[in-house]
Amino acid sequence: MNKLWDKPPSPRPAAAPSALPAGVVIRHGGREVRVAPATILAPMAGITDTVFRRFLRGLGGCGLIMTEFTSADGLIRSERVARRYLSFGAEERPIAAQLFGSDPEVLAQAAELVERLGFDAVDLNLGCPANKVVKCNGGSGLLRDLPLLARLFTRIRAAVTIPFTVKYRAGWDERTLVHVELARLAEASGVNALALHARTRAQGYAGEAQWQWIAAVKQAVRIPVFGNGDVRRPEDAAALVAATGCDAVMIGRAAANNPWIFRQIEQYRTTGHYDLPGAADRAALIGRYFSLLAAERSPGALGKMKQFVAWFTHGVEDGATLRKLVYECRTEQEALDRVTRFFGIADDTWQSAVETSGTAIAASNR
């Protein structure tokens, strides 16, 4: 279940770029979140921290971004959790904070804190398949208890005035699918939008996403529905919308491998074509991200550098050498220096990335 990537899915029926929507609005009362373009960065633990989110925003094309999923219990118990997971910069808007947990009162308190921190929306995670989350009845573990979900939805909805959304999987396994029933329950409880990862908990990240499940949810409810699963190219995004009628496309692992994908989708929607990054583009991307991590002194920055270089060096000449150079590093600065030397670029080349990165809004300053 920890695999970052699986084998490519079978080809999907082609669709015209015009199938892609220009945007969607998530509404609650007088509050609106405009998602334009109609693309969303999925929450990913260990990846979608504030540095990655601002880095991605700089590339353009993403309509809404989400934080890493955050423990509601940890959030209300510790200021440190709020500072680490729920700090964000103004340039990240619109932004939603994703929570996980199983206690209605705890989740309601955490949602209230999310609203006070200034987030545009709050999202509930019902999709994480990790054992350590499921065994606490969080994430996709809650798919087995719809009565509890009804209480969670109602309590969170009553606690906040910002839009409330849910990201979920289709069921625990293919014998216990709840995607349509849960969607109707969520809508009746005041949830304002749904994102369906069209796999079951048992699948993890393997096998093909079953897009027909997204189509069934879209037909069952009137609130916006976001499709998630097996979108790796702009053509896939258009095919997903054409096949399901979903209102927006949510992308997770593909964005971690190709942060340009949101910009490419918007290019494809408006022109029918999109740019492909070359080796120089990947070099600049690696340098910019490393500079941001080093400047922010982000928790686990060195580990993130090593993870990042593994994703992006497959498009760079002699990428195996660069991977080895970075894997051997013991400090963030050493990794940045080795990247700089590898590409033969002056030390100050990446400085503009740091100077224009914006200032994070610390949760501790709320």
Q: Is the peptide bond before 94 cis (omega within 30 degrees of 0)?
A: yes
- Identify the burial level of 349 via C-beta atoms within 10 angstroms of its C-beta, where 0-12 means exposed, 13-18 middle and 19 or more buried: middle
Distance CA 339, CA 335 (A): 6
Answer yes or no: are the C-beta atoms of 17 and 238 closer than 8 Å: yes
Q: Active-site residues: which are they?
A: 128
Q: Is 193 left (phi over 0), alpha (psi -120 to 50) or beta?
A: beta
Read off the tokens for 359: 């200032």
Separation of first and last alpha carbons in the chain: 36
Burial of 190 (0-12, 13-18, 19+ CB in 10 A): middle
Dist. CA 251–CA 65, nearest whole Å: 10
Task: Of 254, 177, 191, give the one whose Cα is nearest residue 222.
Answer: 191
Short-list 94, 101, 75, 100, CA closest to 86: 75
For residue 132, CA distances in Å to 167, 253, 282, 317 come to: 18, 20, 35, 39
Beta partners for residue 194, in sequence order: 166, 225
